[in-house]
Each structure stands twice: as C-alpha cells, then as structure tokens.
A and B are shown apart, each in its own frame.
Chain A
C-alpha cells in the first residue's frame, strides 16, 4: 500500500498510540479532581501543554486544547465575533479557506455580520493589497490559511501580518492545520498573528485532538460553556490521552523537519515532472517554493478525478480528489474554482499529499502505476 492522502489524515504513529494507551490506562483520573489521580492527570495535561508551547515557540498559557481543526476554526471566528461585536461586524477571509472557516463565516452572515471573501490569483494566492483594500473601520477579524489544503499554495501571511501592524485592534487568525512539519513554522509565528488553529490527526496524532494558539492578551468568547476547563475558555473534561499523544506526535513530527521537508520536496518534484510530460496533464501546484512541499494537485484532462482515484486505488495507491472533505459530496473544489480553473478541468483534479514516511521508491511505483492508468484512459479518450 502506498498512502498519498496525508492531507486528509495521517496514520497515527505506533509510539504515539503507545502513549495514548498508557495515559488512558495509568492516568485516567479527571484532571480537575482534587485527589492524587486528578493531580497526576493534571500533570500530564500541563506537561503536554508546556511541550507543545515550547515546540511552537509560544507560552504554555497561550495553548488551548480542542477537538481538532474544525473546532479551532469555529471557535476563533465565532468567539471573535461574539467578543468584539460591539466594535464592529466586518470579517475578512479568502475564497479558498477550509469549509470550517467558510461555513462559520456563512453562519455569521445569517446573524447580521458582514464578510468579505477575498479572491485569489490563478496560482492560488491571495494578495496583500486585496486585504489592505478590504479593511474597514469596523473590521474585527482577518482569517487566512497558511497552507491551502487543495493545491498547497503558501499564503503571504507574514506580509499580511506586517500590514496588520497598522491595525492593532483587528484579530488576525491563521489556519495552520496543513503547516505542521512542512517548513513554514517561521511564517506562522509572525509576531502579529493572534490566533492559530492546529489539528492533531494531520501530524500522526489520533483523531479528536487539536489545539489553538491564542496570543496572550487577545480575548475570544468561549463556544463550549461548562465546567471552566482550559482557564474558563474551553469547557469539557480534558482528553488527557489524546492531549499527551498529540504532544508526543508534534515532537516526533518536528524532530527532523528539515530532512523530511527536503525529501517530500524531492518526491513531489519527481512525480510532478514525470506526470507533466503528458500533454493532457495540468499541474495546479507549482514546483517553486511558494507551495508547500507535500501537496501536488493535477488533472488528467477528460477523466473525472473520482475515476482516477479509484483506478489508482486498484494499483494499491491511495489519494484524493482535492480535499477529502468535499470529495464525498461531489462538490467541485472551491480553491480551483477561485483560481478560475474551468469546471471541466477542476472535476478532473486529483491530489497527492505526502508525509515524512513516503519514499522515492514509492514515487517510482506511482510512476509505473501512472503509466498504466494513463494508457488505459487514453484508449477511452476521444481521438484528437
């Protein structure tokens, strides 16, 4: 099996699952309990938080645990809207955000908030000027993803950060879900960024884990009201084993980041150059360093993406039609649409997404499978 769908989810590491199991068994107490079992569980949560903070160069009190990327995005966007509604009701985002952002914005629109969805260019990048022009006196939030999950374009979040230095009251949120271990941490730690969303299962932690970074001093309202966990910001009994497993996964994932990025980059370049030899292949992810090292999206003209995915599955290779979230529903990719890719071509798009365990040998196996699949489809394709 060759797994090329790591932007959809990653396989949890054995060592991470060992941590999960040990913590779930030996530290099962409620971290809020006064007795010793509670203290021990609390210590696990505290130490995990400290480790995560250190790994992303933040303070422990700036880390809040969540159930994943969707919750993080919902919380920061709606929490900002609730906390700052008396200061303004305008929010800015892009047309290529993850549905967790886009649909949160749509919900806010129904409640009377005003949202600007910024376009991207044909390469998949939002422009800083567009952000500048969209800012109004009543703007309370700018939310831009770091790495686009469908084509891998790295958004100019540091330049937007520089711009927002002049607008200190606007909350600046960056969805960093696709950024972990991909060599873009420096960018997402731009000092002007107020909030970051992370999701555990994108870096080999179990599902149902995640965290946000909230710069100290920045306030959002809680979405989860209840027993006051996470310093009253996010109630709900802490997912102790998930939190510990995530802390471990993050450490492991960042340990050899540079080497991994270089290898993923090399594999991506190899595959891209190979498939691009065919006239009917269109690359949506370019090979320059404006794109993340692990995502490669391309189309084979005239064949539906879904068909290609199944054809490769037959060869033991697993990948996606652009984002996994939208592929089931059959909706065409919103990023490709925003890049003004014609619908016919957009429905042919498929996405390869790599992780640190993929190898060059797998790339070569993919190429053999590609030749086979491509030849079969050419038989079906209408003569030119």
Chain B
C-alpha cells in the first residue's frame, strides 16, 4: 500500500503537565534526527496529542523501522489520506487497505473519529456506511466490537479522511534528553549495554566511559565497546564514546596494593575518573551495569566500599535483574552476540584469583593512599579520547564489506 502519512502517538508524556511542550519539542527533534536521511522529503507536524509525518510519496517501511527505535513514542499507524467529497472512493480505498492488511476470517470493526464537524455523516453514520460496505465486500470478515483482530480507523479531518488498519508498538519510554545528561560506564560485557539502553529509555542522554589498558587489552576489546555503542545509537542518533587509558593505574595498583584489594581499588579509581569526567562535561549522574551480588565487585559491601569515593548519584538500571533477564534484554537489543565475543578487557586482565567479596571501607581508603591518586588521575584524564559514534558506524566489521566485495 502507498501510505500518505504516519501518525505517531506520544507515550507517557501525555501526563507531564507544564513540561509537555518541551517534551514534544524534544521528541520532534529526536524524530527529525533519527530520520535525517529522509527528512527532506517529509513534512513533520507535531500536534498536542499526536505527531503527523506526511510522507509525500516516500516509502513508509524504512521510516517505520526508524520510528520503532525512538523513545517517547507509544504507537504509530501508517495511514492513507483520501478526499472526503467522494464517499465511494473512500470506501474503495478502505477496501484495498483492508484487503492488503487484514487476513481472511479476521474479526474486525470500524472506528470513526470526526474532527471536522461539518462532515455530513456523524460518527455512527460513518461507522455504519463503512462497515456495511466492507462486510458486503469481504464476507469472510466478522464484525466484533470487543477486542477485534483488526480495526479500521477512519479519521475525518478538515483536509481529508485518514484511513489506517495497523497500530505498531513504539519503543515506549521518554524522549532521550528530557531527563538530562549522564555518563555511562561501559565495559563490553552483557550488562552495561542493557543498562545503557534502559537509561536511554528513561530519557537520559548518555555518554559512554570506557577504560582500556593497552597492551594488556587488544584493539579488538576497544572496538567491541565502540561497536556496542554503535548498536545503541539508533535510539538516540549519536553517542559520545570517551575512552580512558587505564594501563598505568592498573600497573601501579598491582605493584603497591595487597592482592585482595586490587579489584576494589581499581573500581574506586574508575569511579573517581568517571566522576571527574562527568563534572568536566556537565553530566548529572553516573550509570553503570552493576547487578547486586553478581560478582565480587557487586556485593553490597563492595558497592559501598567503591561508591565511597563519590557523592554523585549512581544509577544501576539492572541492579535487581537476574542474569537470565539481562541476557534476554541483551538479545532483544541485539548486543548479546557482541558482548560474548572473547576479548580480554581491563577488568579481567588484572583480576586477582580471590578478590575480597566483603571489603572493608577503612581498609580500602587506607590502601588507596599507597598510590598517587591525583597524579595518576591527571595522567589518565589528559589521555582521554572522545569519539562521536553515529548510527551505522562500524568498528568490528570494517573488514566485512571489503571481504564481501571479494566474494
């Protein structure tokens, strides 16, 4: 079917009182950013309850694919605009639409909304006209008012009649950016990309902070983290990826700190650095992928001993999820296969054989004085590199296209 527009219904923001205008503005901005490839051919009209994307002849499929990743959209419907003067024509187009989208034997109903009060038929009259015609033309369809398989929506507006049969679930959540900016500690494992996704879903605009330790960690590990970031860009358009050199800090800690506290002190330094980066960049909170009790660094004792270094809010979106739930979510957002690629990251390289699961805060504070925290942090912060990662960027499979060309 050639659709004339896509009607977008807002999510939760309907309830957001005074901020509504700002939320709609942000959502419109995000939609424009996500559709940047197509935006020249489209007309986007935000209204109080809905946003209309007029297609002007553009194919609806790729547009809907992009929209399904934009947070703040509850549902959307591709619809066809017809001239309202010719009711027979309206019926004919409605039948074509129903034939193309409603399988034989379905239960269905017609639902009319009349914004144009000048239109001669009222809501019930329109329902009846359309319903009679369609049940004659498609005797296999069974009319059912409660929970039908399909609904033909007929919207009578001043500029024409809009017909649609499909309502597609959007990504839900809040428009990214409406909740402010935060840093996200991204390792390369399964949990942190899921946490990042959940942060984005609640409207948080995130920047990734990734620690890497060459030559102990390979270029592959860094590229994997970037690729994971690229996987999340469709939800937001672009994400800053901040890579922090961590080699020297790890070597110093390894040399000077007792083995049982290696991990705890490393994590404290990571958090200190993330806090410093957040302050530099004006981010309001730190997100990470910690899940309570999953590993030694994620027991409550460990969290307390590590969290000790900052007063900035730390949000842990997957804190109470089971590993199996996290994996299921990772599969949904297509980060799982990447996450399980076996590259050593900086957390595994210097992992002590038996890290303390119940570290003491006073000991952690004491052992940290064995190293020159300020100097090491300055060195790391000076070595930061920021990459803006955009939709479609490739870090792992740059070779893939070259090879595909050869085959």
Interface residue ranges, A against B (CB under 8 Å): 19, 22-23, 36, 39-40, 43-44, 47-48, 51, 244, 247-248, 251
Contacts and interface: CB of A to CB of B under 8 A. Distances in A.
B100 interface: no
| Residue with the highest number of chain A CB atoms closer than 10 Å, among B220, B399, B406 | B406
Contacts of A47: 400, 403-404, 407
Residues of B contacting A: mostly: helix
A48 B403 CA distance: 9
Contacts of A23: 406
Nearest to B397: A43
Contacts of B399: 40, 43
15 contacts: A19-B406, A23-B406, A36-B219, A39-B220, A40-B399, A43-B397, A43-B400, A43-B403, A44-B403, A44-B406, A47-B400, A47-B403, A47-B407, A248-B406, A251-B407
Contacts of B406: 19, 22-23, 44, 244, 248
Q: Which secondary structure characterizes the binding site on chain A?
A: helix
Nearest to B404: A47
A22 B403 CA distance: 10
B220 A48 contact: no
Given A44-B406, A47-B400, 11 more contacts: A36-B219, A36-B220, A40-B399, A43-B397, A43-B400, A44-B403, A47-B404, A47-B407, A51-B407, A244-B407, A248-B407
Interface string B120-132: 0000000000000
Contacts of A51: 407
Interface string B366-407: 000000000000000000000000000000010110011011
A244 B404 CA distance: 10
A175 B106 CA distance: 49
Given A40-B399, A43-B399, A247 B220 contact: no
Nearest to B399: A43
A51 B400 CA distance: 12
Interface string B215-242: 0000110000000000000000000000
Contacts of B407: 19, 47-48, 51, 244, 247-248, 251
Contacts of B403: 43-44, 47, 244
A117 to B, nearest CB: 40
B221 to A, nearest CB: 12
A320 B406 CA distance: 34
Contacts of B404: 47
Contacts of A43: 397, 399-400, 403
Nearest to A27: B403
Contacts of B400: 43, 47
A243 to B, nearest CB: 10
Contacts of A251: 407
A43 B399 CA distance: 8
Contacts of B219: 36
A248 B407 CA distance: 4
A248 B405 CA distance: 10
Contacts of B397: 43
Interface in B137-183: none
Contacts of A248: 406-407
Interface in B237-266: none
Q: Which 3 pairs between the two chains have the least Cβ-Cβ distance?
A: A247-B407, A19-B406, A47-B403
A44 B397 CA distance: 11
B143 to A, nearest CB: 44
Contacts of A36: 219-220
B407 to A, nearest CB: 5
A47 B219 CA distance: 21
A51 B407 CA distance: 8
A23 B403 CA distance: 9
A44 B403 CA distance: 6
A43 B400 CA distance: 7
A293 to B, nearest CB: 26
Interface string B5-35: 0000000000000000000000000000000
Nearest to A251: B407
Contacts of A44: 403, 406
B406 to A, nearest CB: 5
A191 B82 CA distance: 50
Contacts of A22: 406
A36 to B, nearest CB: 7
A203 to B, nearest CB: 14
A242 to B, nearest CB: 13
A312 B29 CA distance: 75
B237 to A, nearest CB: 29
